[in-house]
Amino acid sequence: MPNNYCKYYLLFVVNALLFFSCNNDIETIKKVSQSEQMPMLSGEDIYFTQSEYGEIMLRVFTKELVQYANGEKNYTEFPKGMKAVHFDNYPDTVSFLQANYAINYTDTDVWEAKGNVIMRNVKNEQLNTEYLVWDQKKKIIYSNTRVQVTTSDDIIYGEGFEADEQFENWTVKKVTGVFTFEE
């Protein structure tokens, strides 16, 4: 009988230790979840270059960069805006883009630009909008919001826009504005 008593006592002590050692402090849980949301990289006054096969294709300037790479979160954020110069054959500028905010989803190669988005092409045509998407895989830019395209002759307003990534061949959807036609 004393042997059974010792077994029950030992079993009770082990269960009590296991029960009390598995205590989850709410502050510990918050710290662990916050560390998963921490950026992998951050910096201020950043200037970087993207190249393909040794050729400079893109230069980006930003006041602040925050990069996340935590499994589900794989993106680079430009919370204070950015300016990007796209090259065909460096140093020949093909297009220029600036925005008050931008985000690059690295898994899908999609960029989003928001707030006072301005884009210019080699013909000095200018796009103004509040939201623009650049799909690097498809090599297109587009927007489903209000846009204004200024050319040497016209100002074209519309709702929606699509172009190649150099902003050379473009289409404005739901067009309004003043146009010049040659007879």
pLDDT at 36 over 70: no
Q: Taking all residues of the chain, what is their mean pLDDT, rounded to a whole number?
A: 82
- Per residue in 14-31, pLDDT tens? 565 555 555 556 665 555
**pLDDT at position 14:** 59
Mean pLDDT of 70-97: 85
**pLDDT at position 125:** 93
What does the alpha-carbon distance between residue 65 and residue 84 come to, in Å, rounded to a whole number?
13
Cα-to-chain-centroid distance, residue 112: 5
Residue 42's pLDDT band (boundaries 50, 70, 90)?
confident
pLDDT above 90 coverage of the chain, percent: 42
**pLDDT at position 146:** 95
Cα-to-chain-centroid distance, residue 173: 25
Q: Which fold has domain 40-178?
A: lipopolysaccharide transport protein A fold (2.60.450)
Q: Residue ranges per domain, the chain?
A: 40-178
Lowest average pLDDT, out of 17-21, 55-59, 139-143, goes to: 17-21
**Neighbouring-strand partners of residue 26:** none
77 close to 99: Cβ distance less than 8 angstroms: no
**pLDDT at position 153:** 86
- Report the relative pairing of strands 41-52 and 176-178 from DSSP bridges: unpaired
Structure tokens at 74: 């794989």
Higher pLDDT: 163 or 90? It is 163
What does the alpha-carbon distance between residue 86 and residue 96 come to, in Å, rounded to a whole number?
6
**pLDDT at position 48:** 85
161 close to 143: Cβ distance less than 8 angstroms: yes
pLDDT at 75 over 70: yes
Closest Cα partner for 110 from 79, 84, 75? 75
Mean pLDDT of 145-172: 91
CA dihedral sign, ordered 57, 148, 161, 110: positive
